[in-house]
Amino acid sequence: MVGLATRYLNGLRRRDFVEGAALIDGGWIASSQRDVVVDPATGDEIADVARCSAADMALAIAAAERSFAAWRQLLPAKRGAILRSWASLLLDHSEELAILVTSEQGKPLAEARYEIVYAAGFLDWFAAEGERAYGETIPSHKAGSLLQVRMQPIGVAAAITPWNFPVAMITRKAGAALAAGCPIIVKPAPETPLSALAVARLATEAGVPPGVLQVLVGDPIELSAPLLRDTRIRALSFTGSAQVGRLLLGAAAQTVKKVSLELGGHAPFLVFDDVDLNKTVTGAIAAKFATSGQDCLAANRIYVQRGIYCAFVEAFAAAMNKLKVGHGLDPATDIGPMTKLSVANKCRMQIDDAVTKGARVISTKQDEKLASTFVFPTLLSDVTEDMLIAREETFGPVVAVLPFDSEDEVIARANANEMGLAGYVYTDSLRRALRLSEQLECGMVGVNTASFTGPPIPFGGWKQSGLGREGSRHGLAEYTELKYVCFGDVTG
Ligand code: NAD
């Protein structure tokens, strides 16, 4: 019987979106070596894609280098027009792209549709931001001289992207690189190549010249080795696990590349006893279960002040019980499968560990027939700091709730972790919100909100959550070099 994802993919108007050819130097390369793409909800094989080799990557690096001079010389407004046209094509094809994302990644279709809009937003944002790479004029400390600082494109960039936002993590990196005047080579996650290749097709249709954007799918180590070694690759942007991020940072040190890393988080979500309980539970559910929990901003540790602890656990469990687990292409679904079985297994391991150490578990088991990639939304209460879930990112629909007594105590516990991407504070006190937003050791803080990302904000983390920023004007800086120029004797 033909599976749900295959039926949807067979119905796509754009058959070329599932051809699975790589984009190198403006051409579509259909290698005889192929890798299969599976629907994580069923394990069904839904397509196959070209498996690129290190030799293909060498060709791509050379093509990118050749394209650099002309691309950097194009007026920023012309580069911006191409980016805007790419954004429009994403929106024109949003339904087909969303189907690709759900079929290979697993997230509910409504979330996949949102991802396409979010992804297009980065292209529009950077289209304009490229025109605002102003540089500076510095009041001179040398008599008779004029001091300038220019922002110049750094050169060829490389992006290694994850499977949880397979479209938006490409446009957030490529939008900034292209706007700054840099060609970029993208290596998407092997789990989600179809949407990456479709987005690349739309880039060529928007007028991105050969070599300026290239997408190669294949073995991560084989394809990243030439990128890391090659001195022509001047910038590397990575989103994924801290473990791989550290490896890439170490390897990139050999050629002193500019590296930006987004390595996930372990977000604390602080709830004080002065809050509106319903609004806070709504926020906590959104902060935990978006992208089926496979989100680096996910609230992993919910600290609740003791006065409302029991009421919070009860209300959260009631809201969680309404979440429907199923195939992402089923419109009723709120929580899809984990994209990788290893992620589902990590969730189960954290649940077992917490229960062994005394946590109480509330789970929403609904359908025993679902594949082992599914994890049912699970609340662990009375969690203590010695449990794995209190110390490590989960990346799935499992949440830890921990009681606390005082503000000083909870801020110390929230900060006692090596990750520092995002944090959340829910309180009715403005003074407390100001204090805590100042004290949290992380790159982004949501005060009484679970929704704060988007193109204008500097997305990124502190500590081992990463380096650099994406989106905002700071995102452009990851692909530029500053050049200071001193004009002497300008008054004579
Ligand atoms: P990962 O770090 O292995 O994969 C991310 C990207 O890195 C993919 O493109 C992958 O092909 C590539 N990659 C993997 N190993 C590589 C290597 N040795 N050299 C070069 N590239 C390599 O992540 P994962 O194993 O798929 O997921 C594991 C955990 O990572 C998750 O549970 C989550 O904690 C974290 N993660 C975080 C994000 C995020 O948004 N920050 C995204 C995905 C995964």
The answer to whether residues 257 and 238 touch, using CB atoms and an 8 Å cutoff, is no
Find out whether the beta carbon of 239 lies less than 6 Å from any atom of ligand 1.
yes
Question: Do 195 and 40 touch, CB atoms closer than 8 A?
Answer: no
Instruction: Check if 296 has its Cβ closer than 6 Å to any atom of ligand 1.
Output: yes
> Across residues 293-306, what is the average pLDDT?
98
CA distance 53 to 51: 7
Other Cβ atoms less than 10 A from the Cβ of 329: the count is 22
Coil, strand or helix at 467: strand
Q: What does DSSP say about strands 34-38 and 378-381: parallel, antiparallel, or unpaired?
A: unpaired
Question: How is residue 387 written in tokens?
Answer: 């449990």
Matching residue, tokens 């300038």: 148
Query: What is the four-CA torsion angle of 337, 339, 344, 350, rounded to 10 degrees?
Result: -110
CA of 161 to the centre of ligand 1 (A): 8
How far apart CA 484 and CA 212 sit, in angstroms, is 27
The CATH code for residues 4-263+466-483 is 3.40.605.10
Strands (DSSP E) found in 326-443? 360-363, 378-381, 398-404, 419-420, 422-426
Distance CA 58, CA 56 (A): 5
CA 238 / ligand 1 centre spacing (Å): 9
Average pLDDT of span 254-279: 97
Average pLDDT of the residues of the chain? 97
- Ligand 1 nearest atom to the CA of residue 221, by list position: 19
CB 464 near ligand 1, within 6 Å:
no
pLDDT 10s digits, 113-161 = 999 999 999 999 999 999 999 999 999 999 999 999 999 999 999 999 9
Q: What is the mean pLDDT of residues 362-371?
A: 81
Residue 465 near ligand 1, beta carbon < 6 Å: no
Of the candidates 394, 393, 412, 410, which has an alpha carbon nearest to the alpha carbon of residue 402? 410
Angle formed by the axes of helices 309-321 and 277-289, to 10°? 50
In 136-204, DSSP assigns E strands to 136-138, 146-153, 156-160, 184-187
Which CATH code fits 267-454? Answer: 3.40.309.10
pLDDT at 304: 98
- Cα–Cα distance for residue pair 1/112, rounded to 1 Å: 25
Indicate if 296 belongs to the active site: yes
- Return contacts of 243-246, CB within 8 angstroms, 24+ apart: 244/220, 245/466
Q: Residue 216 pLDDT > 90, yes or no?
A: yes
DSSP state of 209: P
Query: Which tokens belong to 306?
Result: 């003791």
What pLDDT shows up at residue 32? 86
Q: Which two tokens stand for residue 178?
A: 């292209």
Q: Boundaries of CATH 3.40.309.10 in the chain?
A: 267-454
Distance from the CA of 282 to the center of ligand 1, in angstroms? 29
Q: Whose CA is nearest to atom 9 of ligand 1?
A: 189
Residue 1: pLDDT band (50, 70, 90) is low
Confidence bin at 363 (pLDDT 50/70/90): confident
Average pLDDT over residues 50-59: 97
- Candidate list 52, 182, 296, 442, residue with the active-site label: 296
Q: Tens digit of pLDDT for each residue in 63-98?
A: 999 999 999 999 999 999 999 999 999 999 999 999
pLDDT of residue 98: 98
Q: What separation in Å is there between the alpha carbon of 186 and the centre of ligand 1?
A: 14
Is residue 305 packed enough to be buried (19+ CB in 10 Å), middle (13-18) or exposed (0-12)?
A: buried
Bridge pairing between strands 444-447 and 419-420? unpaired
| Residue 189 Cβ contacting ligand 1 at under 6 Å | yes
The closest of 46, 38, 47 to 20, measured between CA atoms, is: 47
- Per cent of the chain over pLDDT 70 is 99
Residue 369's contacts (CB-CB under 8 Å, 6 or more residues apart) are none
CATH 3.40.605.10 location in the chain: 4-263+466-483
Q: What distance in angstroms lies between residue 337's CA and the mean position of ligand 1's atoms?
A: 17
Atom of ligand 1 nearest to the CA of 189: 9
Question: Which pLDDT does position 369 carry in this prediction?
Answer: 87
Residue 436 and residue 439: Cα distance in Å, rounded? 5
Q: What is the average pLDDT across 232-255?
A: 98
Residues 414-472 have pLDDT tens digits of 999 999 999 999 999 999 999 999 999 999 999 999 999 999 999 999 999 999 999 99
Instruction: For residues 253-274, give the mean pLDDT.
Output: 97
The torsion defined by the Cα of 187, 191, 194 and 200, in degrees rounded to 10, comes to: -20
| Secondary structure (3-state) at 73 | helix
